[in-house]
Chain A
Protein backbone atom coordinates (compact mmCIF):
# COMPACT_ATOMS: atom_id res chain seq x y z
CA UNK A 1 0.00 0.00 0.00
CA UNK A 2 1.17 3.52 -0.77
CA UNK A 3 0.20 6.30 1.57
CA UNK A 4 0.95 9.94 0.88
CA UNK A 5 0.60 11.76 4.18
CA UNK A 6 0.34 15.54 4.47
CA UNK A 7 2.75 16.05 1.61
CA UNK A 8 4.02 19.57 0.97
CA UNK A 9 6.56 20.43 -1.71
CA UNK A 10 7.79 23.93 -2.46
CA UNK A 11 10.23 25.02 -5.12
CA UNK A 12 11.56 28.16 -3.52
CA UNK A 13 8.49 30.37 -3.34
CA UNK A 14 6.40 28.18 -5.62
CA UNK A 15 4.02 26.01 -3.61
CA UNK A 16 3.73 23.06 -5.99
CA UNK A 17 2.03 20.61 -3.61
CA UNK A 18 0.09 21.89 -0.59
CA UNK A 19 -0.61 19.34 2.06
CA UNK A 20 -2.10 16.41 0.20
CA UNK A 21 -2.91 12.98 1.64
CA UNK A 22 -4.20 9.87 -0.09
CA UNK A 23 -3.80 6.10 -0.17
CA UNK A 24 -3.41 3.61 -2.97
CA UNK A 25 -4.35 0.00 -2.20
CA UNK A 26 -2.38 -2.95 -3.51
CA UNK A 27 -3.48 -3.96 -6.98
CA UNK A 28 -5.30 -0.73 -7.59
CA UNK A 29 -4.86 1.52 -10.63
CA UNK A 30 -5.04 5.09 -9.46
CA UNK A 31 -5.56 7.86 -11.97
CA UNK A 32 -3.91 11.11 -11.03
CA UNK A 33 -5.75 13.79 -12.88
CA UNK A 34 -5.21 17.51 -12.98
CA UNK A 35 -4.59 20.45 -15.29
CA UNK A 36 -1.07 21.62 -16.22
CA UNK A 37 0.91 22.78 -13.22
CA UNK A 38 -1.39 21.07 -10.72
CA UNK A 39 1.45 19.27 -8.96
CA UNK A 40 1.08 15.75 -10.37
CA UNK A 41 4.67 15.35 -11.52
CA UNK A 42 5.99 16.89 -8.31
CA UNK A 43 4.06 14.36 -6.20
CA UNK A 44 5.32 11.46 -8.30
CA UNK A 45 8.90 12.74 -8.07
CA UNK A 46 8.64 12.65 -4.28
CA UNK A 47 7.26 9.10 -4.28
CA UNK A 48 10.08 7.91 -6.53
CA UNK A 49 12.76 9.60 -4.44
CA UNK A 50 13.92 12.15 -6.99
CA UNK A 51 12.81 14.98 -4.72
CA UNK A 52 12.46 15.13 -0.95
CA UNK A 53 9.28 16.42 0.63
CA UNK A 54 9.32 19.93 2.10
CA UNK A 55 7.17 18.39 4.82
CA UNK A 56 5.02 15.32 5.18
CA UNK A 57 6.05 11.87 4.03
CA UNK A 58 5.21 9.01 1.73
CA UNK A 59 4.85 5.49 3.11
CA UNK A 60 5.16 2.30 1.12
CA UNK A 61 4.19 -0.69 3.24
CA UNK A 62 6.10 -0.01 6.46
CA UNK A 63 8.83 2.09 4.85
CA UNK A 64 8.98 5.79 4.04
CA UNK A 65 10.73 7.80 1.34
CA UNK A 66 12.76 9.90 3.73
CA UNK A 67 14.53 7.00 5.41
CA UNK A 68 14.12 4.04 3.06
CA UNK A 69 14.24 5.63 -0.38
CA UNK A 70 16.63 2.97 -1.70
CA UNK A 71 14.37 0.06 -0.67
CA UNK A 72 11.30 1.81 -2.03
CA UNK A 73 13.01 2.59 -5.34
CA UNK A 74 13.68 -1.11 -5.77
CA UNK A 75 9.94 -1.82 -5.64
CA UNK A 76 8.99 0.86 -8.13
CA UNK A 77 9.07 0.96 -11.90
CA UNK A 78 9.00 4.58 -13.02
CA UNK A 79 8.30 6.21 -16.34
CA UNK A 80 9.14 9.89 -15.81
CA UNK A 81 7.38 12.69 -17.65
CA UNK A 82 9.01 13.38 -21.05
CA UNK A 83 10.44 9.86 -20.92
CA UNK A 84 14.17 10.65 -20.69
CA UNK A 85 16.30 7.97 -22.38
CA UNK A 86 19.96 7.60 -23.29
CA UNK A 87 19.70 8.38 -26.95
CA UNK A 88 23.21 7.27 -27.79
CA UNK A 89 22.54 3.74 -26.53
CA UNK A 90 21.14 0.71 -28.29
CA UNK A 91 17.78 -0.48 -26.98
CA UNK A 92 19.37 -3.78 -26.01
CA UNK A 93 22.28 -2.19 -24.13
CA UNK A 94 19.90 0.20 -22.40
CA UNK A 95 17.57 -2.54 -21.20
CA UNK A 96 20.55 -4.64 -20.16
CA UNK A 97 21.85 -1.75 -18.08
CA UNK A 98 18.47 -1.31 -16.40
CA UNK A 99 18.20 -5.06 -15.82
CA UNK A 100 21.57 -5.08 -14.08
CA UNK A 101 20.59 -2.06 -12.03
CA UNK A 102 17.44 -3.95 -11.09
CA UNK A 103 19.37 -7.01 -9.89
CA UNK A 104 18.30 -9.24 -12.73
CA UNK A 105 21.09 -11.69 -13.40
CA UNK A 106 22.35 -12.73 -16.82
CA UNK A 107 20.39 -15.94 -17.14
CA UNK A 108 17.09 -14.38 -16.12
CA UNK A 109 17.72 -11.32 -18.28
CA UNK A 110 17.44 -13.31 -21.51
CA UNK A 111 13.99 -14.68 -20.72
CA UNK A 112 12.77 -11.47 -19.12
CA UNK A 113 13.93 -9.44 -22.13
CA UNK A 114 11.90 -11.73 -24.37
CA UNK A 115 8.79 -11.18 -22.25
CA UNK A 116 9.21 -7.42 -22.16
CA UNK A 117 9.81 -7.22 -25.92
CA UNK A 118 6.61 -9.18 -26.42
CA UNK A 119 4.61 -7.07 -23.93
CA UNK A 120 5.79 -3.70 -25.19
CA UNK A 121 5.92 -4.58 -28.86
CA UNK A 122 9.63 -3.91 -29.27
CA UNK A 123 10.32 -6.65 -31.77
CA UNK A 124 12.52 -5.42 -34.58
CA UNK A 125 13.96 -2.40 -32.78
CA UNK A 126 16.02 -4.16 -30.09
CA UNK A 127 19.28 -3.60 -31.91
CA UNK A 128 18.54 -0.08 -33.01
CA UNK A 129 19.93 3.04 -31.44
CA UNK A 130 17.34 4.80 -29.31
CA UNK A 131 17.85 8.04 -31.29
CA UNK A 132 16.60 6.26 -34.42
CA UNK A 133 13.26 5.38 -32.83
CA UNK A 134 9.96 7.15 -33.36
CA UNK A 135 8.29 8.79 -30.38
CA UNK A 136 5.89 5.89 -29.96
CA UNK A 137 8.72 3.37 -29.87
CA UNK A 138 10.64 5.53 -27.41
CA UNK A 139 7.57 5.45 -25.19
CA UNK A 140 7.51 1.67 -25.41
CA UNK A 141 11.19 1.52 -24.45
CA UNK A 142 10.39 3.79 -21.50
CA UNK A 143 7.63 1.46 -20.46
CA UNK A 144 9.86 -1.58 -20.97
CA UNK A 145 12.54 -0.21 -18.64
CA UNK A 146 9.87 0.52 -16.04
CA UNK A 147 8.51 -3.03 -15.99
CA UNK A 148 11.60 -5.11 -16.70
CA UNK A 149 12.03 -6.10 -13.05
CA UNK A 150 8.34 -6.86 -12.68
CA UNK A 151 7.92 -4.22 -9.96
CA UNK A 152 5.10 -4.28 -7.43
CA UNK A 153 4.48 -0.60 -8.05
CA UNK A 154 4.34 1.14 -11.39
CA UNK A 155 4.39 4.92 -11.64
CA UNK A 156 3.66 6.39 -15.05
CA UNK A 157 3.75 10.14 -15.60
CA UNK A 158 1.69 10.98 -18.70
CA UNK A 159 2.59 7.73 -20.47
CA UNK A 160 0.68 8.48 -23.66
CA UNK A 161 1.66 12.08 -24.26
CA UNK A 162 2.77 12.69 -27.79
CA UNK A 163 1.46 9.41 -29.17
CA UNK A 164 -0.91 9.05 -32.08
CA UNK A 165 -4.46 7.81 -31.38
CA UNK A 166 -3.72 4.19 -32.30
CA UNK A 167 -0.64 4.08 -30.12
CA UNK A 168 -2.62 5.66 -27.28
CA UNK A 169 -5.23 2.90 -27.42
CA UNK A 170 -2.47 0.29 -27.47
CA UNK A 171 -0.51 1.73 -24.56
CA UNK A 172 -3.68 2.16 -22.49
CA UNK A 173 -4.50 -1.48 -23.10
CA UNK A 174 -1.01 -2.45 -22.03
CA UNK A 175 -1.28 -0.41 -18.84
CA UNK A 176 -4.64 -1.91 -17.98
CA UNK A 177 -3.17 -5.33 -18.54
CA UNK A 178 -0.15 -4.66 -16.35
CA UNK A 179 -2.39 -3.15 -13.71
CA UNK A 180 -4.10 -6.47 -13.07
CA UNK A 181 -1.17 -7.58 -10.94
CA UNK A 182 0.37 -4.31 -9.84
CA UNK A 183 -0.29 -1.13 -7.95
CA UNK A 184 -0.27 1.59 -10.58
CA UNK A 185 -0.34 5.36 -10.40
CA UNK A 186 -0.89 6.96 -13.77
CA UNK A 187 -0.98 10.71 -14.21
CA UNK A 188 -2.70 12.59 -16.96
CA UNK A 189 -4.47 15.81 -17.70
CA UNK A 190 -6.89 13.99 -19.98
CA UNK A 191 -10.03 12.67 -18.34
CA UNK A 192 -10.68 10.00 -20.97
CA UNK A 193 -7.28 8.53 -20.32
CA UNK A 194 -8.01 8.04 -16.65
CA UNK A 195 -11.53 6.79 -17.37
CA UNK A 196 -10.08 4.23 -19.76
CA UNK A 197 -7.47 2.85 -17.40
CA UNK A 198 -8.03 3.64 -13.74
CA UNK A 199 -10.13 2.07 -10.97
CA UNK A 200 -10.14 5.25 -8.97
CA UNK A 201 -9.09 8.79 -9.55
CA UNK A 202 -7.76 11.71 -7.64
CA UNK A 203 -8.28 15.11 -9.13
CA UNK A 204 -5.56 17.49 -8.10
CA UNK A 205 -5.62 21.20 -8.71
CA UNK A 206 -3.12 23.88 -7.71
CA UNK A 207 -1.37 21.50 -5.37
CA UNK A 208 -4.51 20.36 -3.57
CA UNK A 209 -6.79 17.38 -3.89
CA UNK A 210 -10.09 18.49 -5.37
CA UNK A 211 -11.77 15.07 -5.50
CA UNK A 212 -10.94 11.46 -4.69
CA UNK A 213 -13.08 8.46 -5.52
CA UNK A 214 -14.05 5.85 -8.04
CA UNK A 215 -15.49 7.15 -11.25
CA UNK A 216 -18.95 5.98 -10.15
CA UNK A 217 -18.58 7.67 -6.78
CA UNK A 218 -17.57 10.94 -8.33
CA UNK A 219 -20.41 10.72 -10.80
CA UNK A 220 -22.99 10.08 -8.11
CA UNK A 221 -21.51 12.76 -5.88
CA UNK A 222 -22.12 15.22 -8.61
CA UNK A 223 -24.86 13.43 -10.45
CA UNK A 224 -28.30 14.48 -9.56
CA UNK A 225 -26.87 17.95 -9.52
CA UNK A 226 -28.12 20.52 -11.90
CA UNK A 227 -26.52 23.80 -12.79
CA UNK A 228 -28.72 26.72 -13.54
CA UNK A 229 -27.31 29.78 -15.20
CA UNK A 230 -29.05 33.09 -14.60
CA UNK A 231 -28.59 36.53 -16.04
CA UNK A 232 -30.51 39.13 -14.07
CA UNK A 233 -30.84 42.86 -14.36
CA UNK A 234 -31.37 45.00 -11.25
CA UNK A 235 -30.69 42.07 -8.94
CA UNK A 236 -28.23 41.63 -6.08
CA UNK A 237 -26.94 38.48 -4.45
CA UNK A 238 -28.29 39.20 -0.99
CA UNK A 239 -31.76 39.43 -2.35
CA UNK A 240 -31.23 36.42 -4.64
CA UNK A 241 -30.37 34.30 -1.64
CA UNK A 242 -33.77 35.11 -0.18
CA UNK A 243 -35.42 32.97 -2.85
CA UNK A 244 -37.36 30.36 -0.90
CA UNK A 245 -35.61 27.29 -2.37
CA UNK A 246 -32.20 28.44 -1.11
CA UNK A 247 -33.31 26.98 2.20
CA UNK A 248 -33.86 23.58 0.59
CA UNK A 249 -30.35 23.02 -0.75
CA UNK A 250 -29.84 25.33 -3.69
CA UNK A 251 -26.33 26.72 -3.72
CA UNK A 252 -25.00 29.85 -5.33
CA UNK A 253 -21.80 28.47 -6.82
CA UNK A 254 -20.61 31.38 -8.93
CA UNK A 255 -21.64 34.92 -9.57
CA UNK A 256 -20.29 38.08 -11.13
CA UNK A 257 -21.64 41.44 -12.02
CA UNK A 258 -21.05 43.63 -15.02
CA UNK A 259 -22.84 46.75 -16.27
CA UNK A 260 -25.70 46.17 -13.88
CA UNK A 261 -26.20 42.61 -15.11
CA UNK A 262 -25.62 39.85 -12.60
CA UNK A 263 -24.57 36.44 -13.85
CA UNK A 264 -25.08 33.66 -11.34
CA UNK A 265 -24.78 29.89 -11.42
CA UNK A 266 -26.87 27.87 -9.03
CA UNK A 267 -26.30 24.25 -8.17
CA UNK A 268 -28.90 21.95 -6.70
CA UNK A 269 -29.98 18.31 -6.58
CA UNK A 270 -32.10 17.12 -9.48
CA UNK A 271 -34.96 16.60 -7.06
CA UNK A 272 -35.33 20.35 -6.70
CA UNK A 273 -36.53 22.87 -9.20
CA UNK A 274 -36.19 26.45 -8.02
CA UNK A 275 -37.08 28.04 -11.33
CA UNK A 276 -40.61 28.95 -10.43
CA UNK A 277 -39.50 30.47 -7.10
CA UNK A 278 -36.90 32.50 -8.89
CA UNK A 279 -39.40 33.77 -11.37
CA UNK A 280 -41.89 34.89 -8.72
CA UNK A 281 -39.11 36.44 -6.69
CA UNK A 282 -37.89 38.29 -9.76
CA UNK A 283 -41.30 39.65 -10.54
CA UNK A 284 -41.79 40.79 -6.96
CA UNK A 285 -38.45 42.62 -6.93
CA UNK A 286 -38.81 43.96 -10.47
CA UNK A 287 -35.79 42.05 -11.79
CA UNK A 288 -35.45 41.39 -15.46
CA UNK A 289 -34.53 37.83 -16.33
CA UNK A 290 -32.26 37.95 -19.38
CA UNK A 291 -31.34 34.30 -19.29
CA UNK A 292 -32.22 31.19 -17.33
CA UNK A 293 -30.65 28.00 -18.65
CA UNK A 294 -30.29 24.61 -17.09
CA UNK A 295 -27.76 21.89 -17.67
CA UNK A 296 -26.86 18.58 -16.10
CA UNK A 297 -23.31 17.71 -15.14
CA UNK A 298 -21.10 15.12 -16.73
CA UNK A 299 -17.75 13.88 -15.46
CA UNK A 300 -16.20 16.30 -17.91
CA UNK A 301 -17.93 19.19 -16.13
CA UNK A 302 -16.87 17.91 -12.74
CA UNK A 303 -13.28 17.94 -13.87
CA UNK A 304 -13.60 21.32 -15.51
CA UNK A 305 -15.29 22.74 -12.45
CA UNK A 306 -12.84 21.35 -10.00
CA UNK A 307 -9.90 22.61 -11.93
CA UNK A 308 -11.14 25.77 -13.56
CA UNK A 309 -9.22 28.06 -11.25
CA UNK A 310 -6.02 26.21 -12.04
CA UNK A 311 -6.54 26.78 -15.74
CA UNK A 312 -7.00 30.50 -15.36
CA UNK A 313 -4.06 31.01 -13.03
CA UNK A 314 -1.82 29.12 -15.38
CA UNK A 315 -3.02 30.96 -18.42
CA UNK A 316 -1.80 34.33 -17.28
Chain B
Protein backbone atom coordinates (compact mmCIF):
# COMPACT_ATOMS: atom_id res chain seq x y z
CA UNK B 1 0.00 0.00 0.00
CA UNK B 2 1.26 3.43 -0.80
CA UNK B 3 1.95 5.52 2.23
CA UNK B 4 -0.02 8.72 1.88
CA UNK B 5 1.51 10.29 4.95
CA UNK B 6 5.01 9.69 3.70
CA UNK B 7 4.27 11.15 0.26
CA UNK B 8 2.61 14.25 1.68
CA UNK B 9 5.14 14.66 4.46
CA UNK B 10 8.01 14.56 2.00
CA UNK B 11 6.38 17.22 -0.14
CA UNK B 12 5.77 19.47 2.87
CA UNK B 13 9.31 19.16 4.21
CA UNK B 14 10.65 19.77 0.73
CA UNK B 15 8.56 22.92 0.42
CA UNK B 16 9.83 24.17 3.79
CA UNK B 17 13.38 23.85 2.64
CA UNK B 18 12.56 25.39 -0.73
CA UNK B 19 11.47 28.58 0.97
CA UNK B 20 13.67 31.10 2.75
CA UNK B 21 11.13 31.52 5.57
CA UNK B 22 12.23 28.27 7.17
CA UNK B 23 15.91 29.19 7.13
CA UNK B 24 15.38 32.71 8.35
CA UNK B 25 13.17 31.73 11.27
CA UNK B 26 15.51 28.89 12.16
CA UNK B 27 18.53 31.18 12.27
CA UNK B 28 16.70 33.84 14.24
CA UNK B 29 15.50 31.24 16.72
CA UNK B 30 18.99 29.91 17.25
CA UNK B 31 20.56 33.36 17.52
CA UNK B 32 18.11 34.48 20.17
CA UNK B 33 18.63 31.32 22.18
CA UNK B 34 22.39 31.49 21.82
CA UNK B 35 22.41 35.09 22.94
CA UNK B 36 20.43 34.35 26.08
CA UNK B 37 22.44 31.23 26.79
CA UNK B 38 25.88 32.76 26.47
CA UNK B 39 25.05 35.98 28.25
CA UNK B 40 23.77 34.19 31.33
CA UNK B 41 26.21 31.31 31.13
CA UNK B 42 29.30 33.46 31.42
CA UNK B 43 27.74 35.79 33.92
CA UNK B 44 26.52 33.31 36.46
CA UNK B 45 28.49 30.30 35.30
CA UNK B 46 25.42 28.20 35.92
CA UNK B 47 25.69 24.67 34.73
CA UNK B 48 22.21 23.94 33.55
CA UNK B 49 20.09 24.81 30.58
CA UNK B 50 17.51 26.65 32.61
CA UNK B 51 17.77 29.75 30.46
CA UNK B 52 17.15 27.70 27.34
CA UNK B 53 14.10 26.13 28.87
CA UNK B 54 12.65 29.49 29.90
CA UNK B 55 13.60 31.42 26.79
CA UNK B 56 12.73 28.84 24.13
CA UNK B 57 8.98 28.67 24.92
CA UNK B 58 8.83 32.46 24.64
CA UNK B 59 10.69 32.46 21.35
CA UNK B 60 8.32 29.69 20.21
CA UNK B 61 5.44 32.16 20.52
CA UNK B 62 6.85 33.96 17.46
CA UNK B 63 8.77 31.17 15.85
CA UNK B 64 6.02 28.59 15.49
CA UNK B 65 3.33 30.90 14.08
CA UNK B 66 5.94 32.02 11.55
CA UNK B 67 6.65 28.52 10.32
CA UNK B 68 3.04 27.32 10.38
CA UNK B 69 1.32 30.38 8.88
CA UNK B 70 1.75 29.19 5.31
CA UNK B 71 0.82 25.55 5.82
CA UNK B 72 -2.76 25.76 4.54
CA UNK B 73 -3.31 29.50 4.02
CA UNK B 74 -0.78 29.59 1.21
CA UNK B 75 -2.40 26.67 -0.59
CA UNK B 76 -5.77 28.39 -0.29
CA UNK B 77 -4.30 31.60 -1.60
CA UNK B 78 -2.56 30.11 -4.63
CA UNK B 79 -5.35 27.66 -5.41
CA UNK B 80 -3.18 24.57 -4.97
CA UNK B 81 -5.53 23.43 -2.22
CA UNK B 82 -7.95 22.42 -4.97
CA UNK B 83 -5.20 20.49 -6.65
CA UNK B 84 -4.09 18.59 -3.57
CA UNK B 85 -7.57 17.87 -2.20
CA UNK B 86 -8.65 16.38 -5.52
CA UNK B 87 -5.74 13.95 -5.46
CA UNK B 88 -6.68 10.74 -3.66
CA UNK B 89 -5.69 12.02 -0.21
CA UNK B 90 -8.07 12.48 2.68
CA UNK B 91 -8.27 15.90 4.30
CA UNK B 92 -7.01 14.32 7.52
CA UNK B 93 -3.90 12.97 5.83
CA UNK B 94 -3.19 16.38 4.33
CA UNK B 95 -3.54 18.23 7.65
CA UNK B 96 -1.56 15.75 9.73
CA UNK B 97 1.27 15.55 7.21
CA UNK B 98 1.54 19.32 7.29
CA UNK B 99 1.52 19.33 11.08
CA UNK B 100 4.25 16.70 11.23
CA UNK B 101 6.40 18.54 8.70
CA UNK B 102 6.20 21.77 10.71
CA UNK B 103 6.90 19.83 13.89
CA UNK B 104 9.99 18.41 12.20
CA UNK B 105 11.25 21.94 11.68
CA UNK B 106 10.59 22.72 15.35
CA UNK B 107 12.46 19.59 16.38
CA UNK B 108 15.32 20.53 14.09
CA UNK B 109 15.56 23.89 15.81
CA UNK B 110 15.64 22.16 19.18
CA UNK B 111 18.28 19.78 17.94
CA UNK B 112 20.51 22.72 17.09
CA UNK B 113 20.16 24.06 20.62
CA UNK B 114 21.92 20.95 21.92
CA UNK B 115 25.19 22.74 21.10
CA UNK B 116 24.62 24.50 24.40
CA UNK B 117 24.42 21.15 26.05
CA UNK B 118 27.69 20.05 24.49
CA UNK B 119 29.28 23.30 25.61
CA UNK B 120 28.33 22.36 29.13
CA UNK B 121 29.78 18.90 28.68
CA UNK B 122 33.10 20.29 27.51
CA UNK B 123 33.27 22.81 30.32
CA UNK B 124 32.78 19.74 32.43
CA UNK B 125 30.24 20.74 34.99
CA UNK B 126 28.11 17.94 36.30
CA UNK B 127 24.89 17.81 34.40
CA UNK B 128 21.51 16.70 35.61
CA UNK B 129 20.62 14.36 32.77
CA UNK B 130 17.08 13.78 33.98
CA UNK B 131 16.29 17.48 34.02
CA UNK B 132 17.83 17.84 30.60
CA UNK B 133 15.73 15.12 29.02
CA UNK B 134 12.48 16.21 30.63
CA UNK B 135 13.29 19.79 29.66
CA UNK B 136 13.62 18.85 26.02
CA UNK B 137 10.58 16.62 26.18
CA UNK B 138 8.59 19.54 27.57
CA UNK B 139 9.79 21.85 24.82
CA UNK B 140 8.94 19.32 22.14
CA UNK B 141 5.44 18.74 23.54
CA UNK B 142 4.76 22.44 23.88
CA UNK B 143 6.18 22.93 20.39
CA UNK B 144 3.75 20.31 19.11
CA UNK B 145 0.83 22.05 20.83
CA UNK B 146 1.81 25.40 19.31
CA UNK B 147 2.25 23.76 15.93
CA UNK B 148 -1.27 22.31 16.10
CA UNK B 149 -2.59 25.77 16.96
CA UNK B 150 -0.60 27.24 14.06
CA UNK B 151 -1.98 24.61 11.69
CA UNK B 152 -5.49 25.50 12.79
CA UNK B 153 -4.90 29.23 12.33
CA UNK B 154 -3.55 28.58 8.86
CA UNK B 155 -6.69 26.65 7.93
CA UNK B 156 -9.16 29.42 8.73
CA UNK B 157 -7.79 32.03 6.33
CA UNK B 158 -6.05 32.37 3.00
CA UNK B 159 -3.84 35.15 4.29
CA UNK B 160 -0.56 34.14 5.94
CA UNK B 161 -0.27 37.31 8.01
CA UNK B 162 -3.77 36.79 9.39
CA UNK B 163 -2.85 33.19 10.19
CA UNK B 164 0.24 34.42 12.04
CA UNK B 165 -1.77 36.89 14.09
CA UNK B 166 -4.44 34.31 14.97
CA UNK B 167 -2.01 31.64 16.13
CA UNK B 168 0.18 34.18 17.90
CA UNK B 169 -2.87 35.47 19.79
CA UNK B 170 -4.12 32.02 20.83
CA UNK B 171 -0.69 30.93 21.95
CA UNK B 172 -0.02 34.20 23.73
CA UNK B 173 -3.26 33.95 25.70
CA UNK B 174 -2.56 30.34 26.67
CA UNK B 175 0.94 31.34 27.69
CA UNK B 176 0.03 34.38 29.71
CA UNK B 177 -2.87 32.76 31.63
CA UNK B 178 -0.90 31.61 34.67
CA UNK B 179 0.76 35.00 34.99
CA UNK B 180 -2.48 36.84 35.58
CA UNK B 181 -3.80 34.48 38.22
CA UNK B 182 -3.40 37.08 40.96
CA UNK B 183 -6.01 39.22 39.24
CA UNK B 184 -8.77 36.63 39.19
CA UNK B 185 -10.92 35.20 42.00
CA UNK B 186 -9.79 31.98 43.58
CA UNK B 187 -12.31 29.60 42.07
CA UNK B 188 -11.29 30.67 38.58
CA UNK B 189 -7.62 30.64 39.20
CA UNK B 190 -7.08 26.91 39.41
CA UNK B 191 -9.14 26.47 36.27
CA UNK B 192 -7.15 29.10 34.41
CA UNK B 193 -3.97 27.61 35.72
CA UNK B 194 -4.92 24.28 34.22
CA UNK B 195 -5.54 25.96 30.88
CA UNK B 196 -2.16 27.65 30.92
CA UNK B 197 0.52 26.09 28.81
CA UNK B 198 3.38 27.43 30.86
CA UNK B 199 2.07 25.80 34.01
CA UNK B 200 2.24 22.35 32.41
CA UNK B 201 5.55 23.08 30.79
CA UNK B 202 7.16 24.09 34.06
CA UNK B 203 5.91 20.85 35.64
CA UNK B 204 7.38 18.75 32.87
CA UNK B 205 10.63 20.70 32.86
CA UNK B 206 11.05 20.16 36.57
CA UNK B 207 11.00 16.48 35.77
CA UNK B 208 7.65 15.77 37.34
CA UNK B 209 5.72 14.45 34.37
CA UNK B 210 2.18 14.06 35.52
CA UNK B 211 -0.50 12.47 33.34
CA UNK B 212 -2.50 15.70 33.81
CA UNK B 213 0.20 17.56 31.91
CA UNK B 214 0.30 15.03 29.13
CA UNK B 215 -3.48 14.88 28.86
CA UNK B 216 -3.61 18.65 28.66
CA UNK B 217 -1.02 18.96 25.88
CA UNK B 218 -2.41 15.93 24.05
CA UNK B 219 -5.89 17.45 24.12
CA UNK B 220 -4.65 20.76 22.75
CA UNK B 221 -2.91 18.98 19.89
CA UNK B 222 -5.89 16.76 19.14
CA UNK B 223 -8.45 19.54 19.42
CA UNK B 224 -6.70 21.93 17.07
CA UNK B 225 -5.84 19.25 14.52
CA UNK B 226 -9.42 18.00 14.44
CA UNK B 227 -10.65 21.57 14.05
CA UNK B 228 -8.25 22.11 11.15
CA UNK B 229 -9.51 18.98 9.40
CA UNK B 230 -13.13 20.05 9.96
CA UNK B 231 -12.46 23.49 8.55
CA UNK B 232 -10.76 22.04 5.52
CA UNK B 233 -13.77 19.77 4.96
CA UNK B 234 -16.14 22.71 5.32
CA UNK B 235 -14.99 24.15 1.99
CA UNK B 236 -17.18 21.50 0.34
CA UNK B 237 -20.35 22.89 1.86
CA UNK B 238 -19.72 26.58 1.45
Q: Confirm or deny: A37 has a beta carbon within 8 angstroms of a beta carbon on chain B.
A: no
Contact of B11 among A82, A84, A97 (CB under 8 A): A97
Q: Confirm or deny: A98 has a beta carbon within 8 angstroms of a beta carbon on chain B.
A: yes
Q: Count of B residues near A, CB < 8 Å?
A: 25
Q: B10-22: contact bitstring with A at CB < 8 Å (1 yes, 0 no)?
A: 1100110011000
Q: Confirm or deny: A260 has a beta carbon within 8 angstroms of a beta carbon on chain B.
A: no
Q: Count of A residues near B, CB < 8 Å?
A: 29
Q: B85-108: contact bitstring with A at CB < 8 Å (1 yes, 0 no)?
A: 111111000000000000000000
Inter-subunit contact B90/A51 (CB<8 Å): no
- A12-B238, A85-B83 are known contacts; what are 12 more A-B pairs with Cβ within 8 Å? A50-B85, A50-B235, A73-B86, A73-B87, A76-B86, A80-B86, A84-B81, A86-B15, A88-B19, A98-B87, A102-B87, A103-B2
Q: Confirm or deny: B237 has a beta carbon within 8 angstroms of a beta carbon on chain A.
A: yes
Inter-subunit contact A70/B90 (CB<8 Å): yes
B residues lining the A interface (CB < 8 Å): 2, 4, 7, 10-11, 14-15, 18-19, 78-83, 85-90, 235-238
What is the bound-complex CA distance between A93 and B14, given in angstroms?
A: 9
- Number of contacts between A and B (CB, 8 Å)? 63
A residues lining the B interface (CB < 8 Å): 11-12, 45, 48-52, 70, 73-74, 76, 78, 80, 82, 84-89, 93, 97-98, 100-103, 145
- When C-beta atoms are compared, the residue in chain B nearest to A97 turns out to be B11
What is the bound-complex CA distance between A97 and B82, given in angstroms?
A: 16
Contact of B237 among A48, A52, A78, A102 (CB under 8 A): A52
Contact of B7 among A76, A100, A145 (CB under 8 A): A100
- When C-beta atoms are compared, the residue in chain B nearest to A99 turns out to be B7
What is the bound-complex CA distance between A73 and B7, given in angstroms?
A: 17
What is the bound-complex CA distance between A76 and B235, given in angstroms?
A: 20
- When C-beta atoms are compared, the residue in chain A nearest to B17 turns out to be A88
What is the bound-complex CA distance between A11 and B235, given in angstroms?
A: 10
Inter-subunit contact A88/B86 (CB<8 Å): no
Chain B residues near A87 (CB, 8 Å)?
Answer: 78
What 6 A-B pairs come out closest when comparing CB atoms?
Answer: A84-B79, A52-B236, A88-B18, A84-B80, A100-B7, A48-B86
